[in-house]
Structure 1
Amino acid sequence: MSEGGSVSPLQTVMVQCGEHTLLVRVQLDLFGTKHLIKAADLSLGTAGCQPTKIFPENCTVLFDYGLHKCGSRLQIMSPPGIFQMTGDFLIYTTHLTHIPNYPGSVIVRTNGAVIPIECRYFRKGNVSSNPIKPTWIPFSSTRSGEGHLSFSLRLMNGDWLTERTSTVYSLGELIHIEASVSMDNHMPLKLYIDRCVATLSPGKDSSPRYSIIDYNGCLVDSKAEDSFSTFVLRRNQREPDKLRFDLDAFRFYGDERSLIFITCHLKVAAVDQGDSRNKACSFQKLHKMCVPHSLSLSGVAEER
Protein backbone atom coordinates (compact mmCIF):
# COMPACT_ATOMS: atom_id res chain seq x y z
CA MET A 1 0.00 0.00 0.00
CA SER A 2 1.29 3.44 -0.86
CA GLU A 3 2.39 5.68 1.96
CA GLY A 4 0.39 8.81 2.60
CA GLY A 5 2.17 11.79 1.14
CA SER A 6 1.89 15.33 -0.11
CA VAL A 7 1.53 16.14 -3.79
CA SER A 8 2.45 19.79 -3.26
CA PRO A 9 5.65 21.36 -1.88
CA LEU A 10 3.28 23.62 0.11
CA GLN A 11 1.70 20.48 1.67
CA THR A 12 -1.79 21.72 0.88
CA VAL A 13 -2.86 18.41 -0.70
CA MET A 14 -2.42 15.14 1.20
CA VAL A 15 -3.16 11.67 -0.24
CA GLN A 16 -3.61 8.32 1.49
CA CYS A 17 -3.98 5.21 -0.65
CA GLY A 18 -5.88 2.41 1.09
CA GLU A 19 -6.53 -1.16 0.08
CA HIS A 20 -9.92 -0.26 -1.34
CA THR A 21 -10.22 3.49 -0.83
CA LEU A 22 -8.54 6.75 -1.75
CA LEU A 23 -8.45 9.66 0.72
CA VAL A 24 -7.50 13.12 -0.52
CA ARG A 25 -7.40 15.98 1.98
CA VAL A 26 -7.14 19.49 0.49
CA GLN A 27 -6.53 22.80 2.25
CA LEU A 28 -8.71 25.56 0.84
CA ASP A 29 -5.60 27.78 0.90
CA LEU A 30 -4.47 25.61 -2.01
CA PHE A 31 -1.75 27.93 -3.30
CA GLY A 32 -0.48 29.08 0.11
CA THR A 33 -1.47 32.70 -0.61
CA LYS A 34 -4.13 33.08 2.14
CA HIS A 35 -6.79 33.31 -0.58
CA LEU A 36 -9.23 30.49 0.16
CA ILE A 37 -10.72 28.67 -2.80
CA LYS A 38 -14.29 27.37 -2.83
CA ALA A 39 -14.90 23.72 -2.00
CA ALA A 40 -17.42 23.55 -4.84
CA ASP A 41 -14.63 24.43 -7.31
CA LEU A 42 -12.73 21.21 -6.47
CA SER A 43 -13.40 17.82 -8.06
CA LEU A 44 -11.70 14.43 -8.21
CA GLY A 45 -11.10 12.34 -11.32
CA THR A 46 -12.71 12.38 -14.74
CA ALA A 47 -16.10 11.76 -13.11
CA GLY A 48 -15.84 15.09 -11.29
CA CYS A 49 -16.53 13.68 -7.82
CA GLN A 50 -17.29 16.38 -5.24
CA PRO A 51 -15.82 16.59 -1.71
CA THR A 52 -17.46 14.17 0.72
CA LYS A 53 -16.78 16.30 3.82
CA ILE A 54 -16.02 19.97 4.48
CA PHE A 55 -14.26 21.08 7.68
CA PRO A 56 -14.84 24.86 8.17
CA GLU A 57 -12.86 24.92 11.42
CA ASN A 58 -9.54 24.26 9.66
CA CYS A 59 -10.53 25.21 6.09
CA THR A 60 -10.03 21.75 4.58
CA VAL A 61 -12.12 19.36 2.50
CA LEU A 62 -11.96 15.57 2.21
CA PHE A 63 -12.50 13.26 -0.75
CA ASP A 64 -13.24 9.71 0.47
CA TYR A 65 -14.00 7.39 -2.46
CA GLY A 66 -13.45 3.82 -3.54
CA LEU A 67 -10.23 3.22 -5.42
CA HIS A 68 -12.14 2.37 -8.59
CA LYS A 69 -14.52 5.34 -8.33
CA CYS A 70 -14.34 8.82 -9.88
CA GLY A 71 -12.79 7.56 -13.11
CA SER A 72 -9.51 6.18 -11.69
CA ARG A 73 -7.48 4.26 -14.27
CA LEU A 74 -5.42 1.10 -13.73
CA GLN A 75 -2.01 0.82 -15.36
CA ILE A 76 0.03 -2.42 -15.30
CA MET A 77 3.78 -1.82 -15.56
CA SER A 78 6.98 -3.89 -15.52
CA PRO A 79 9.61 -2.63 -15.37
CA PRO A 80 8.58 0.93 -14.34
CA GLY A 81 8.00 3.18 -17.31
CA ILE A 82 7.25 0.40 -19.85
CA PHE A 83 3.58 -0.41 -20.41
CA GLN A 84 2.75 -4.10 -20.68
CA MET A 85 -0.28 -6.32 -20.10
CA THR A 86 1.41 -8.08 -17.16
CA GLY A 87 3.73 -6.75 -14.52
CA ASP A 88 5.02 -6.69 -10.99
CA PHE A 89 2.79 -3.97 -9.57
CA LEU A 90 -0.32 -1.88 -10.17
CA ILE A 91 -0.70 1.88 -10.44
CA TYR A 92 -4.02 3.69 -10.10
CA THR A 93 -3.99 7.23 -11.49
CA THR A 94 -6.43 10.08 -11.07
CA HIS A 95 -6.25 13.85 -10.62
CA LEU A 96 -7.54 16.66 -8.44
CA THR A 97 -8.97 19.58 -10.42
CA HIS A 98 -9.56 23.17 -9.32
CA ILE A 99 -11.69 25.26 -11.69
CA PRO A 100 -12.44 28.68 -10.13
CA ASN A 101 -16.00 29.87 -10.68
CA TYR A 102 -16.78 33.53 -10.02
CA PRO A 103 -20.30 34.15 -11.36
CA GLY A 104 -20.87 37.83 -12.01
CA SER A 105 -17.30 38.79 -11.12
CA VAL A 106 -14.94 40.60 -13.47
CA ILE A 107 -11.70 39.38 -11.85
CA VAL A 108 -10.29 36.36 -10.00
CA ARG A 109 -7.43 36.01 -7.53
CA THR A 110 -6.79 32.28 -7.90
CA ASN A 111 -5.77 30.06 -10.81
CA GLY A 112 -7.12 26.75 -11.94
CA ALA A 113 -4.95 23.68 -11.35
CA VAL A 114 -4.81 20.00 -12.25
CA ILE A 115 -2.84 17.91 -9.74
CA PRO A 116 -1.95 14.33 -10.80
CA ILE A 117 -2.33 11.60 -8.16
CA GLU A 118 -0.96 8.03 -8.22
CA CYS A 119 -1.52 5.05 -5.95
CA ARG A 120 1.03 2.21 -6.34
CA TYR A 121 0.44 -1.30 -5.01
CA PHE A 122 2.34 -4.55 -4.34
CA ARG A 123 5.40 -2.58 -3.42
CA LYS A 124 6.03 0.76 -1.73
CA GLY A 125 5.60 3.75 -3.91
CA ASN A 126 5.08 7.42 -3.56
CA VAL A 127 2.61 10.03 -4.58
CA SER A 128 4.04 12.65 -6.87
CA SER A 129 2.92 15.72 -8.71
CA ASN A 130 4.14 18.40 -10.99
CA PRO A 131 4.45 21.72 -9.14
CA ILE A 132 1.58 24.17 -9.28
CA LYS A 133 2.57 27.07 -11.48
CA PRO A 134 0.53 30.25 -11.04
CA THR A 135 -0.15 32.61 -13.90
CA TRP A 136 2.17 35.60 -13.78
CA ILE A 137 0.56 38.98 -14.10
CA PRO A 138 2.59 41.95 -15.36
CA PHE A 139 1.96 45.53 -14.38
CA SER A 140 3.52 48.39 -16.32
CA SER A 141 3.57 52.10 -15.72
CA THR A 142 4.60 55.10 -17.75
CA ARG A 143 5.03 58.66 -16.68
CA SER A 144 3.51 61.84 -17.94
CA GLY A 145 3.17 65.38 -16.73
CA GLU A 146 0.94 68.35 -17.27
CA GLY A 147 1.90 71.97 -16.94
CA HIS A 148 4.66 72.54 -14.38
CA LEU A 149 3.76 69.42 -12.40
CA SER A 150 5.26 66.01 -13.09
CA PHE A 151 3.11 63.03 -12.06
CA SER A 152 4.40 59.47 -11.80
CA LEU A 153 3.43 55.94 -10.78
CA ARG A 154 6.14 53.56 -9.64
CA LEU A 155 6.24 49.90 -8.67
CA MET A 156 8.08 49.66 -5.35
CA ASN A 157 9.72 46.92 -3.35
CA GLY A 158 8.23 45.96 0.00
CA ASP A 159 10.45 48.40 1.90
CA TRP A 160 9.00 51.32 -0.11
CA LEU A 161 12.55 52.68 -0.44
CA THR A 162 13.60 51.24 -3.80
CA GLU A 163 11.84 50.90 -7.13
CA ARG A 164 10.99 47.37 -8.26
CA THR A 165 12.72 46.34 -11.49
CA SER A 166 10.44 43.41 -12.35
CA THR A 167 6.90 43.94 -13.65
CA VAL A 168 5.94 40.30 -13.09
CA TYR A 169 3.62 39.27 -10.24
CA SER A 170 1.91 36.07 -9.16
CA LEU A 171 -1.58 35.70 -7.78
CA GLY A 172 -1.56 36.15 -4.02
CA GLU A 173 1.25 38.73 -4.17
CA LEU A 174 0.82 42.38 -3.21
CA ILE A 175 1.69 45.03 -5.79
CA HIS A 176 3.23 48.05 -4.05
CA ILE A 177 2.31 51.20 -6.00
CA GLU A 178 3.57 54.69 -5.22
CA ALA A 179 2.02 57.77 -6.84
CA SER A 180 3.96 61.02 -6.63
CA VAL A 181 4.11 64.51 -8.04
CA SER A 182 7.13 66.74 -8.50
CA MET A 183 6.45 70.24 -7.17
CA ASP A 184 9.62 72.12 -8.01
CA ASN A 185 9.06 75.86 -7.80
CA HIS A 186 5.42 75.40 -6.94
CA MET A 187 3.29 76.13 -3.91
CA PRO A 188 2.86 73.13 -1.55
CA LEU A 189 0.26 70.69 -2.85
CA LYS A 190 -1.20 67.40 -1.71
CA LEU A 191 -1.53 64.44 -4.09
CA TYR A 192 -4.62 62.25 -4.52
CA ILE A 193 -5.56 59.31 -6.69
CA ASP A 194 -9.03 60.11 -8.00
CA ARG A 195 -9.59 56.76 -9.72
CA CYS A 196 -7.78 53.71 -11.13
CA VAL A 197 -9.14 51.15 -13.57
CA ALA A 198 -7.70 47.86 -14.85
CA THR A 199 -8.23 46.73 -18.46
CA LEU A 200 -6.87 44.18 -20.92
CA SER A 201 -6.07 46.83 -23.52
CA PRO A 202 -4.54 50.32 -23.26
CA GLY A 203 -7.87 52.17 -23.48
CA LYS A 204 -9.20 52.94 -20.00
CA ASP A 205 -12.80 52.71 -21.27
CA SER A 206 -12.32 49.33 -22.96
CA SER A 207 -14.14 46.21 -21.82
CA PRO A 208 -13.74 44.25 -19.64
CA ARG A 209 -12.62 46.70 -17.00
CA TYR A 210 -12.37 46.62 -13.22
CA SER A 211 -12.41 49.63 -10.89
CA ILE A 212 -9.61 49.63 -8.33
CA ILE A 213 -10.03 53.18 -6.99
CA ASP A 214 -13.19 55.21 -7.56
CA TYR A 215 -15.50 57.84 -6.02
CA ASN A 216 -12.76 60.48 -5.73
CA GLY A 217 -10.24 58.31 -3.91
CA CYS A 218 -11.91 55.23 -2.39
CA LEU A 219 -9.93 51.99 -2.80
CA VAL A 220 -13.01 49.99 -3.81
CA ASP A 221 -10.95 46.82 -4.39
CA SER A 222 -10.38 46.66 -0.62
CA LYS A 223 -14.10 45.83 -0.17
CA ALA A 224 -13.73 42.51 -2.02
CA GLU A 225 -13.96 39.58 0.38
CA ASP A 226 -10.71 38.01 -0.88
CA SER A 227 -8.72 41.26 -1.15
CA PHE A 228 -5.84 42.52 1.00
CA SER A 229 -5.62 45.82 -0.89
CA THR A 230 -5.19 48.95 1.25
CA PHE A 231 -3.64 52.39 1.38
CA VAL A 232 -0.32 52.10 3.20
CA LEU A 233 0.67 53.96 6.38
CA ARG A 234 -0.62 57.34 7.45
CA ARG A 235 0.41 60.05 5.08
CA ASN A 236 3.51 61.87 6.26
CA GLN A 237 2.74 65.56 6.49
CA ARG A 238 6.25 66.16 5.19
CA GLU A 239 5.47 64.10 2.08
CA PRO A 240 2.11 65.38 0.78
CA ASP A 241 3.47 64.74 -2.73
CA LYS A 242 3.35 60.92 -2.28
CA LEU A 243 0.56 58.39 -1.86
CA ARG A 244 1.06 54.63 -1.57
CA PHE A 245 -1.23 51.63 -1.77
CA ASP A 246 -1.01 47.85 -1.88
CA LEU A 247 -2.97 46.12 -4.64
CA ASP A 248 -3.74 42.42 -4.33
CA ALA A 249 -2.74 40.81 -7.65
CA PHE A 250 -5.56 39.48 -9.83
CA ARG A 251 -6.43 38.42 -13.35
CA PHE A 252 -9.62 38.73 -15.38
CA TYR A 253 -12.07 35.85 -15.03
CA GLY A 254 -12.28 33.64 -18.12
CA ASP A 255 -9.39 35.36 -19.92
CA GLU A 256 -5.86 33.92 -20.00
CA ARG A 257 -4.11 37.07 -21.28
CA SER A 258 -1.18 37.86 -19.02
CA LEU A 259 -0.89 41.61 -19.63
CA ILE A 260 -3.08 43.99 -17.62
CA PHE A 261 -3.15 47.78 -18.03
CA ILE A 262 -3.87 49.94 -14.99
CA THR A 263 -4.73 53.58 -15.66
CA CYS A 264 -4.91 56.06 -12.76
CA HIS A 265 -6.17 59.63 -12.67
CA LEU A 266 -4.01 61.69 -10.29
CA LYS A 267 -4.79 65.17 -9.00
CA VAL A 268 -3.44 67.68 -6.51
CA ALA A 269 -4.86 70.46 -4.34
CA ALA A 270 -3.64 72.99 -1.86
CA VAL A 271 -2.50 71.34 1.36
CA ASP A 272 -5.26 72.98 3.40
CA GLN A 273 -8.00 72.23 0.86
CA GLY A 274 -10.15 69.27 1.82
CA ASP A 275 -13.65 68.12 0.93
CA SER A 276 -15.52 64.97 -0.06
CA ARG A 277 -14.01 65.07 -3.55
CA ASN A 278 -10.47 64.93 -2.21
CA LYS A 279 -9.80 61.82 -0.16
CA ALA A 280 -7.98 58.51 0.13
CA CYS A 281 -9.80 55.76 2.01
CA SER A 282 -9.73 51.97 2.39
CA PHE A 283 -12.46 49.60 3.54
CA GLN A 284 -11.69 47.99 6.89
CA LYS A 285 -13.43 44.60 6.97
CA LEU A 286 -13.08 44.24 10.74
CA HIS A 287 -15.13 47.39 11.39
CA LYS A 288 -17.11 47.20 8.11
CA MET A 289 -16.45 50.83 7.29
CA CYS A 290 -14.28 53.00 5.07
CA VAL A 291 -11.38 54.59 6.91
CA PRO A 292 -9.79 57.77 5.47
CA HIS A 293 -6.08 57.70 4.85
CA SER A 294 -5.87 61.48 4.51
CA LEU A 295 -7.87 64.35 3.00
CA SER A 296 -7.40 67.26 0.54
CA LEU A 297 -6.76 68.55 -4.06
CA SER A 298 -6.79 70.31 -8.67
CA GLY A 299 -4.20 69.94 -11.54
CA VAL A 300 -4.89 66.69 -13.35
CA ALA A 301 -2.79 64.06 -15.14
CA GLU A 302 -3.22 60.45 -16.18
CA GLU A 303 -0.82 57.58 -15.52
CA ARG A 304 -0.64 54.17 -17.16
Structure 2
Amino acid sequence: MMALFWCCVLLSFLVAASLANAELKLDCKPGHVTLVWMDSRSQADTSLFRLGSCFPTSFTSRDVFFSVEFNNCDFRRLVTGNELNYTNELIYPSYPGSHVLPFTLPVVCSYERPKDWYPLLYEPVFSTFGVEQLVFHIGIMNDDFSGPAESTSFHLGSLIPIMASVEQQTHQPLLVLLDECVAATTPDLQSGSDLYPIITNKGCLVDSKTSRSKFEPRQKSSEIRLSLQAFRFALEQEVYIHCSIVAWDPHGLDNTKKACHYVKDHGWELLDDHVSSGICACCDSTCKTRKTRSLSGNAGLVQQAVIGPLTITDLMS
Protein backbone atom coordinates (compact mmCIF):
# COMPACT_ATOMS: atom_id res chain seq x y z
CA MET A 1 0.00 0.00 0.00
CA MET A 2 1.32 3.44 -0.86
CA ALA A 3 2.95 5.35 1.96
CA LEU A 4 1.20 8.50 3.02
CA PHE A 5 3.29 11.46 1.91
CA TRP A 6 1.15 14.38 2.98
CA CYS A 7 -1.76 13.71 5.28
CA CYS A 8 -3.76 16.06 3.12
CA VAL A 9 -3.81 19.30 1.22
CA LEU A 10 -7.03 21.26 1.24
CA LEU A 11 -7.15 24.59 -0.58
CA SER A 12 -10.08 26.84 0.20
CA PHE A 13 -11.19 30.40 -0.29
CA LEU A 14 -14.08 32.55 0.93
CA VAL A 15 -16.82 33.09 -1.59
CA ALA A 16 -19.50 34.26 0.84
CA ALA A 17 -19.52 35.72 4.29
CA SER A 18 -21.25 32.63 5.66
CA LEU A 19 -18.09 30.56 4.98
CA ALA A 20 -15.99 32.60 7.39
CA ASN A 21 -16.85 30.30 10.31
CA ALA A 22 -16.87 27.03 8.34
CA GLU A 23 -14.59 24.21 9.46
CA LEU A 24 -13.34 21.63 6.99
CA LYS A 25 -11.62 18.39 7.93
CA LEU A 26 -9.98 16.21 5.28
CA ASP A 27 -8.50 12.83 6.14
CA CYS A 28 -6.61 11.18 3.27
CA LYS A 29 -6.25 7.42 3.71
CA PRO A 30 -4.86 4.72 1.42
CA GLY A 31 -7.53 4.25 -1.24
CA HIS A 32 -10.20 6.50 0.22
CA VAL A 33 -10.89 9.85 1.88
CA THR A 34 -13.21 11.27 4.52
CA LEU A 35 -14.29 14.91 4.47
CA VAL A 36 -16.40 16.87 6.97
CA TRP A 37 -17.83 20.37 6.44
CA MET A 38 -19.23 22.01 9.59
CA ASP A 39 -20.69 25.46 10.26
CA SER A 40 -23.06 26.11 13.15
CA ARG A 41 -24.02 29.53 11.79
CA SER A 42 -24.46 28.74 8.12
CA GLN A 43 -27.83 28.83 6.38
CA ALA A 44 -26.60 26.42 3.71
CA ASP A 45 -28.83 23.49 2.81
CA THR A 46 -26.42 20.67 3.63
CA SER A 47 -28.32 18.17 1.47
CA LEU A 48 -27.11 20.08 -1.61
CA PHE A 49 -23.40 19.43 -1.04
CA ARG A 50 -21.55 17.20 -3.50
CA LEU A 51 -18.02 15.81 -3.55
CA GLY A 52 -17.45 15.57 -7.27
CA SER A 53 -20.40 13.47 -8.44
CA CYS A 54 -21.12 11.92 -5.01
CA PHE A 55 -23.95 12.74 -2.60
CA PRO A 56 -23.11 13.08 1.10
CA THR A 57 -22.66 9.88 3.06
CA SER A 58 -24.64 11.61 5.80
CA PHE A 59 -25.62 15.14 6.84
CA THR A 60 -27.37 17.14 9.54
CA SER A 61 -28.62 20.71 9.51
CA ARG A 62 -25.12 21.99 10.26
CA ASP A 63 -22.61 19.45 8.93
CA VAL A 64 -21.91 17.24 5.94
CA PHE A 65 -19.92 13.99 5.96
CA PHE A 66 -18.35 12.15 3.00
CA SER A 67 -16.53 8.82 3.14
CA VAL A 68 -15.67 7.73 -0.40
CA GLU A 69 -13.11 5.76 -2.39
CA PHE A 70 -10.86 7.37 -4.99
CA ASN A 71 -12.33 5.25 -7.78
CA ASN A 72 -15.70 6.93 -7.18
CA CYS A 73 -16.98 10.53 -7.35
CA ASP A 74 -14.93 11.43 -10.45
CA PHE A 75 -11.64 11.81 -8.60
CA ARG A 76 -8.80 12.68 -10.97
CA ARG A 77 -5.42 10.99 -10.55
CA LEU A 78 -2.27 12.85 -11.58
CA VAL A 79 1.38 11.98 -11.15
CA THR A 80 3.79 14.90 -10.75
CA GLY A 81 7.40 14.03 -10.03
CA ASN A 82 7.38 11.80 -6.97
CA GLU A 83 3.83 12.67 -5.96
CA LEU A 84 0.64 10.76 -6.68
CA ASN A 85 -2.27 13.20 -6.38
CA TYR A 86 -6.02 12.61 -6.23
CA THR A 87 -8.04 15.77 -6.86
CA ASN A 88 -11.71 16.66 -6.70
CA GLU A 89 -14.03 19.51 -5.66
CA LEU A 90 -16.46 20.08 -2.81
CA ILE A 91 -19.41 21.75 -4.50
CA TYR A 92 -22.31 23.75 -3.09
CA PRO A 93 -24.73 24.72 -5.92
CA SER A 94 -27.11 26.80 -3.76
CA TYR A 95 -30.65 27.48 -4.97
CA PRO A 96 -32.63 30.52 -6.21
CA GLY A 97 -33.29 33.08 -3.48
CA SER A 98 -30.75 31.62 -1.04
CA HIS A 99 -28.59 33.98 1.03
CA VAL A 100 -25.71 31.52 0.65
CA LEU A 101 -23.88 31.92 -2.63
CA PRO A 102 -22.78 28.81 -4.58
CA PHE A 103 -19.13 27.88 -4.09
CA THR A 104 -16.52 25.26 -4.98
CA LEU A 105 -13.56 24.18 -2.85
CA PRO A 106 -10.64 22.21 -4.35
CA VAL A 107 -9.81 18.98 -2.53
CA VAL A 108 -6.40 17.31 -2.97
CA CYS A 109 -4.90 14.18 -1.40
CA SER A 110 -1.18 13.73 -2.09
CA TYR A 111 0.88 10.60 -1.55
CA GLU A 112 4.44 9.56 -2.22
CA ARG A 113 4.54 7.72 -5.52
CA PRO A 114 5.54 4.07 -4.93
CA LYS A 115 8.76 3.23 -6.77
CA ASP A 116 7.09 0.26 -8.45
CA TRP A 117 4.00 2.24 -9.42
CA TYR A 118 2.87 1.68 -13.00
CA PRO A 119 0.17 3.99 -14.37
CA LEU A 120 -3.04 2.04 -14.84
CA LEU A 121 -5.00 3.56 -17.70
CA TYR A 122 -8.42 2.39 -16.63
CA GLU A 123 -10.21 -0.27 -14.67
CA PRO A 124 -11.31 -3.17 -16.90
CA VAL A 125 -14.94 -2.61 -17.71
CA PHE A 126 -15.58 -4.93 -20.63
CA SER A 127 -14.77 -8.41 -21.83
CA THR A 128 -14.10 -9.62 -25.33
CA PHE A 129 -16.75 -12.14 -26.25
CA GLY A 130 -16.44 -13.83 -22.88
CA VAL A 131 -12.65 -14.05 -23.07
CA GLU A 132 -10.59 -12.52 -20.22
CA GLN A 133 -10.92 -8.78 -19.58
CA LEU A 134 -8.14 -6.59 -20.90
CA VAL A 135 -6.17 -4.11 -18.82
CA PHE A 136 -4.18 -1.39 -20.57
CA HIS A 137 -1.18 0.51 -19.18
CA ILE A 138 0.67 3.57 -20.44
CA GLY A 139 3.32 5.75 -18.86
CA ILE A 140 6.61 7.60 -19.01
CA MET A 141 9.50 5.22 -18.39
CA ASN A 142 13.15 5.43 -17.39
CA ASP A 143 15.87 5.41 -20.05
CA ASP A 144 15.99 1.63 -20.52
CA PHE A 145 12.20 1.10 -20.17
CA SER A 146 12.74 -1.10 -17.11
CA GLY A 147 10.43 0.92 -14.85
CA PRO A 148 8.52 4.20 -14.39
CA ALA A 149 10.47 7.46 -14.77
CA GLU A 150 11.59 9.09 -11.54
CA SER A 151 11.05 12.57 -13.01
CA THR A 152 8.56 14.04 -15.48
CA SER A 153 10.77 17.01 -16.36
CA PHE A 154 12.76 16.78 -19.60
CA HIS A 155 15.26 19.08 -21.29
CA LEU A 156 14.44 20.32 -24.78
CA GLY A 157 15.82 17.84 -27.33
CA SER A 158 16.17 14.93 -24.90
CA LEU A 159 14.25 11.70 -25.42
CA ILE A 160 11.05 10.92 -23.48
CA PRO A 161 10.58 7.14 -23.16
CA ILE A 162 6.91 6.15 -23.37
CA MET A 163 5.51 2.63 -23.22
CA ALA A 164 1.98 1.31 -23.71
CA SER A 165 1.00 -2.29 -23.04
CA VAL A 166 -1.93 -4.60 -22.52
CA GLU A 167 -2.29 -7.48 -20.08
CA GLN A 168 -3.28 -10.32 -22.38
CA GLN A 169 -4.10 -12.85 -19.64
CA THR A 170 -5.65 -15.83 -21.48
CA HIS A 171 -6.63 -13.79 -24.52
CA GLN A 172 -5.22 -14.72 -27.90
CA PRO A 173 -1.97 -12.85 -28.74
CA LEU A 174 -2.54 -9.13 -29.27
CA LEU A 175 -0.46 -6.44 -30.94
CA VAL A 176 -0.46 -3.01 -29.24
CA LEU A 177 -0.42 0.06 -31.49
CA LEU A 178 -0.63 3.81 -30.90
CA ASP A 179 -3.30 5.02 -33.28
CA GLU A 180 -3.16 8.77 -32.57
CA CYS A 181 -1.21 10.92 -30.07
CA VAL A 182 -1.25 14.69 -29.56
CA ALA A 183 0.25 16.96 -26.92
CA ALA A 184 -1.89 19.59 -25.18
CA THR A 185 -1.67 21.86 -22.16
CA THR A 186 -4.83 20.45 -20.56
CA PRO A 187 -5.76 16.97 -19.28
CA ASP A 188 -9.00 17.20 -21.26
CA LEU A 189 -9.03 18.01 -24.97
CA GLN A 190 -11.18 21.03 -25.59
CA SER A 191 -12.47 22.79 -28.68
CA GLY A 192 -9.90 25.35 -29.73
CA SER A 193 -7.08 23.82 -27.67
CA ASP A 194 -3.56 24.26 -29.01
CA LEU A 195 -2.31 20.83 -30.04
CA TYR A 196 1.03 19.39 -31.11
CA PRO A 197 0.63 16.33 -33.39
CA ILE A 198 2.84 13.37 -32.53
CA ILE A 199 1.16 10.34 -34.12
CA THR A 200 -1.56 10.85 -36.73
CA ASN A 201 -3.05 9.14 -39.74
CA LYS A 202 -3.59 5.76 -38.06
CA GLY A 203 -0.15 5.07 -36.61
CA CYS A 204 2.19 7.48 -38.44
CA LEU A 205 4.79 9.01 -36.10
CA VAL A 206 4.77 12.36 -37.93
CA ASP A 207 7.05 13.92 -35.32
CA SER A 208 9.85 11.63 -36.55
CA LYS A 209 10.08 13.56 -39.84
CA THR A 210 11.63 16.57 -38.08
CA SER A 211 13.13 15.02 -34.93
CA ARG A 212 14.87 11.98 -33.45
CA SER A 213 11.55 10.49 -32.34
CA LYS A 214 11.15 6.80 -33.20
CA PHE A 215 9.49 3.55 -32.25
CA GLU A 216 11.88 1.24 -30.46
CA PRO A 217 12.19 -2.44 -31.46
CA ARG A 218 9.50 -4.56 -29.84
CA GLN A 219 10.36 -6.83 -26.96
CA LYS A 220 6.94 -8.46 -27.17
CA SER A 221 3.79 -7.88 -29.18
CA SER A 222 1.71 -6.80 -26.18
CA GLU A 223 3.74 -3.59 -25.66
CA ILE A 224 4.99 -0.73 -27.78
CA ARG A 225 7.88 1.60 -26.94
CA LEU A 226 8.25 5.16 -28.19
CA SER A 227 11.25 7.46 -27.79
CA LEU A 228 9.78 10.95 -28.20
CA GLN A 229 12.15 13.88 -28.61
CA ALA A 230 11.18 16.70 -26.24
CA PHE A 231 9.62 19.49 -28.31
CA ARG A 232 9.22 23.27 -28.05
CA PHE A 233 5.45 23.14 -27.80
CA ALA A 234 4.29 24.61 -24.46
CA LEU A 235 7.88 25.03 -23.26
CA GLU A 236 8.09 25.41 -19.45
CA GLN A 237 4.35 24.61 -19.13
CA GLU A 238 2.55 21.48 -18.00
CA VAL A 239 2.01 19.19 -20.99
CA TYR A 240 -0.37 16.25 -21.35
CA ILE A 241 -0.05 13.61 -24.07
CA HIS A 242 -3.36 12.21 -25.29
CA CYS A 243 -3.24 8.87 -27.11
CA SER A 244 -5.55 6.25 -28.59
CA ILE A 245 -4.21 2.76 -27.87
CA VAL A 246 -5.26 -0.17 -30.04
CA ALA A 247 -5.06 -3.90 -29.26
CA TRP A 248 -5.08 -5.69 -32.60
CA ASP A 249 -4.54 -8.98 -34.42
CA PRO A 250 -0.74 -9.35 -34.93
CA HIS A 251 -1.38 -10.77 -38.39
CA GLY A 252 -3.83 -8.05 -39.43
CA LEU A 253 -1.57 -5.07 -40.19
CA ASP A 254 -2.63 -2.72 -42.97
CA ASN A 255 -2.56 1.02 -43.69
CA THR A 256 -5.05 1.70 -40.88
CA LYS A 257 -3.43 -0.56 -38.27
CA LYS A 258 0.30 0.02 -38.17
CA ALA A 259 3.26 1.66 -36.42
CA CYS A 260 5.37 3.71 -38.84
CA HIS A 261 8.24 6.12 -38.26
CA TYR A 262 10.37 8.13 -40.66
CA VAL A 263 14.00 7.15 -41.18
CA LYS A 264 16.24 9.86 -42.65
CA ASP A 265 17.44 9.13 -46.20
CA HIS A 266 15.22 6.05 -46.29
CA GLY A 267 11.60 7.09 -45.80
CA TRP A 268 8.71 5.62 -43.85
CA GLU A 269 9.44 2.30 -42.15
CA LEU A 270 7.04 -0.21 -40.60
CA LEU A 271 8.08 -1.15 -37.08
CA ASP A 272 6.91 -4.76 -37.21
CA ASP A 273 7.96 -5.80 -40.73
CA HIS A 274 10.40 -3.63 -42.70
CA VAL A 275 9.66 -5.62 -45.85
CA SER A 276 6.02 -4.50 -45.68
CA SER A 277 6.83 -0.79 -45.20
CA GLY A 278 4.74 -0.04 -48.27
CA ILE A 279 1.67 0.19 -46.06
CA CYS A 280 3.27 3.33 -44.55
CA ALA A 281 3.21 5.15 -47.90
CA CYS A 282 -0.10 6.80 -47.02
CA CYS A 283 1.56 8.62 -44.09
CA ASP A 284 2.28 11.51 -46.47
CA SER A 285 -1.35 11.66 -47.61
CA THR A 286 -4.40 10.04 -45.98
CA CYS A 287 -4.61 6.54 -44.53
CA LYS A 288 -8.26 5.78 -45.10
CA THR A 289 -10.20 3.92 -42.45
CA ARG A 290 -11.81 0.69 -43.48
CA LYS A 291 -14.42 -1.34 -41.65
CA THR A 292 -12.64 -3.15 -38.82
CA ARG A 293 -12.59 -6.93 -38.72
CA SER A 294 -12.98 -8.79 -35.54
CA LEU A 295 -10.25 -10.43 -33.52
CA SER A 296 -11.65 -13.82 -33.77
CA GLY A 297 -13.00 -12.12 -36.30
CA ASN A 298 -12.82 -9.60 -33.41
CA ALA A 299 -12.93 -5.82 -33.66
CA GLY A 300 -9.80 -4.04 -32.52
CA LEU A 301 -10.09 -2.73 -28.98
CA VAL A 302 -9.39 1.00 -28.63
CA GLN A 303 -8.83 2.93 -25.40
CA GLN A 304 -8.13 6.60 -24.79
CA ALA A 305 -5.19 7.51 -22.52
CA VAL A 306 -3.67 10.64 -21.02
CA ILE A 307 -0.05 10.86 -19.84
CA GLY A 308 1.09 13.75 -17.69
CA PRO A 309 1.60 16.33 -16.65
CA LEU A 310 5.18 16.55 -17.85
CA THR A 311 7.36 19.62 -18.35
CA ILE A 312 9.89 20.42 -21.06
CA THR A 313 12.58 22.92 -20.10
CA ASP A 314 15.09 24.90 -22.18
CA LEU A 315 18.65 24.81 -20.85
CA MET A 316 19.29 28.14 -22.60
CA SER A 317 16.53 29.99 -20.75
Q: Normalised by the size of structure 1, how large is the TM-score?
A: 0.48
Which of these two proteins has the greater Rg computed from alpha carbons?
A: 1
**Per residue, is there more helix in 1 or in 2?**
2
**Per residue, is there more strand in 1 or in 2?**
1
Q: Normalised by the size of structure 2, how large is the TM-score?
A: 0.46
